[in-house]
Amino acid sequence: MGRVAATIKIMPKDPDVDMDKLKDEIKKMIPKGVELKNFDVKPIAFGLMALYALFVMEDKEGGTEDIERAISRLEDVESVMVESVGLI
């Protein structure tokens, strides 16, 4: 089994969400066997920013579901969407 890199787009509930705090919360809840490689913050519209996180993990059934579920539970997160997944 190989490894995959997954880019996940995380939308905060509103433009006032502290992105550094959100990054710290995500770092604390990463499931075992998953590596967080980096974060990128990009503007969306009307002052709202999206947080993109790059994760590396084993290529297995269910893939990013554990990460998506964990991030979705965070108070300041509106939505979580997988942008891309590829073998590395």
Predicted local distance difference test score (pLDDT) of residue 46: 85
For position 44, what pLDDT does the model report?
Answer: 92
pLDDT tens per residue across span 48-79: 999 999 999 999 888 899 999 999 999 999 99
Mean pLDDT of 19-31: 95
Contacts of 51 (CB under 8 A, 6+ apart): 9, 10, 11, 12, 19, 22, 23, 26, 39, 40, 41
Element (H, E) at 19: helix 19-28
Q: Of the candidates 70, 59, 60, which has an alpha carbon nearest to the alpha carbon of residue 8?
A: 70
Domains of the chain by range and CATH?
A: 3-83 (3.30.70.60)
Residue 11 structure tokens: 């939308």
User: Which pLDDT value is given to residue 45?
Assistant: 87
Give the pLDDT score at 16: 93
The answer on pLDDT for 82 being more than 90 is yes
